[in-house]
Structure 1
Amino acid sequence: GYFQVPLDKLDRPKTAFSTRDGHFQFKVLPQGLTNGPPTFQRIVNQILGPNRWKHVLAYIDDIIIYSQNFKEHLKHIEEVCSLLHEANFKLNVDKCEIARTEILFLGHLIKAGTIKPDPDNIRGLTDTREPTSPEEAFRFVKAAEYYRKFIPKFSTIAAPLHKYSPATVQQQKNNKKLKFELSAEARTAFHQLKKILTTDLILDLPDDTLTFKLQTDASVDGIGAVLLQITSNGDRPLAYMSKKLTQAQIKWPTIEQECYAIVQAIEKWDKYLRGHEFILETDHEPLIHFTNKEQLNKRCERWRLKLAEYRFKVKHIQ
Structure 2
Amino acid sequence: MPFGSMNAPATCQRPMQSVLRDLAPQKCLVYLDGVIAHGPSSHEHLANPRILLDRLRQVGLKLNPAKCRLMQKEVNFLRHDISKEYIQTDRTKTVQVEQWPIPLTVTEVKSFLGLASYYRRFVRNFSMITEPLNALLGKDCEFLWTEAQQQSFDQRRKALYESPILAFPDFAMESGELISDTDASVHGLGAVLSQKGETGEEHVIAYRSRSLNNRGKNYCTTRMEMLALVFFLKQYRYYLLGEKFVVRTDHQSLTWLGSFRDPKGQITRWHVYLQAYAFECFDR
Corresponding residue for residue 15 of structure 1: none
SS in 2 for 1:290: helix
Give the Cα separation in 1 of the matches to 2:128 and 2:156. Answer: 11
SS in 2 for 1:197: helix
Query: Which deviations, in whole Å up to 9, do the C-alpha atoms of 1:105-150 show, x marking residues without a partner?
Result: 1111112411111011001110011112222122212211111111
Q: After TM superposition, give the deviation of residue 292 of structure 1 in Å.
A: 5.5
Corresponding residue for residue 236 of structure 1: 203
SS in 2 for 1:280: strand
Query: Which deviations, in whole Å up to 9, do the C-alpha atoms of 1:256-277 show, x marking residues without a partner?
Result: 1111111110000011111211
Superposed, which structure 2 residues align to 1:270-289 within 5 Å? 270-289=237-256
Q: After TM superposition, give the deviation of residue 294 of structure 1 in Å.
A: 4.2
What do you get for the CA RMSD once the two structures are aligned? Answer: 1.8
Query: Which deviations, in whole Å up to 9, do the C-alpha atoms of 1:224-258 show, x marking residues without a partner?
Result: 00111111241110000011111111001111111
Aligned residues: 280
* Contact kept in structure 2, 1:222 and 1:243, CA below 8 Å: yes
Structure number with greater Rg is 1
1:162 to 134, 148, 157: 134
1:299 corresponds to which letter in structure 2?
A: Q
* Contact kept in structure 1, 2:122 and 2:163, CA below 8 Å: no
Tell me the TM-score normalized by structure 2. 0.93
2:94 corresponds to which letter in structure 1?
A: I
2:181 to 215, 237, 257: 215
* Contact kept in structure 2, 1:138 and 1:161, CA below 8 Å: no
Give the Cα separation in 2 of the matches to 1:239 and 1:227. Answer: 5
2:187 corresponds to which letter in structure 1?
A: D
Corresponding residue for residue 156 of structure 2: 193
Give the Cα separation in 1 of the matches to 2:182 and 2:36. Answer: 33
The answer as to 2:198 corresponding to 1:226 is no
Give the Cα separation in 2 of the matches to 1:253 and 1:188. Answer: 29
Corresponding residue for residue 8 of structure 1: none
> Bigger shift: 81-90 or 149-158?
81-90
Corresponding residue for residue 142 of structure 1: 114
2:266 corresponds to which letter in structure 1?
A: R
2:16 corresponds to which letter in structure 1?
A: V
Corresponding residue for residue 25 of structure 1: none
2:274 to 307, 314, 318: 307
Corresponding residue for residue 245 of structure 1: 212
For CA contacts below 8 A with separation 6 or more, give which structure has more relative contact order.
2
Identity of aligned residues (%): 29
Give the Cα separation in 2 of the matches to 1:206 and 1:254. Answer: 31
* Contact kept in structure 2, 1:279 and 1:315, CA below 8 Å: yes
Give the Cα separation in 1 of the matches to 2:56 and 2:261. Answer: 55
Query: Which deviations, in whole Å up to 9, do the C-alpha atoms of 1:66-89 show, x marking residues without a partner?
Result: 222222111111121122122211
Show structure 1 runs of 5+ residues with no match.
Answer: 1-28
Show structure 2 runs of 5+ residues with no match.
Answer: none
Tell me the TM-score normalized by structure 1. 0.83
1:47 corresponds to which letter in structure 2?
A: V
Q: After TM superposition, give the deviation of residue 295 of structure 1 in Å.
A: 5.8
Corresponding residue for residue 167 of structure 2: 204
The answer as to 2:46 corresponding to 1:83 is no
Give the Cα separation in 2 of the matches to 1:229 and 1:204. Answer: 8
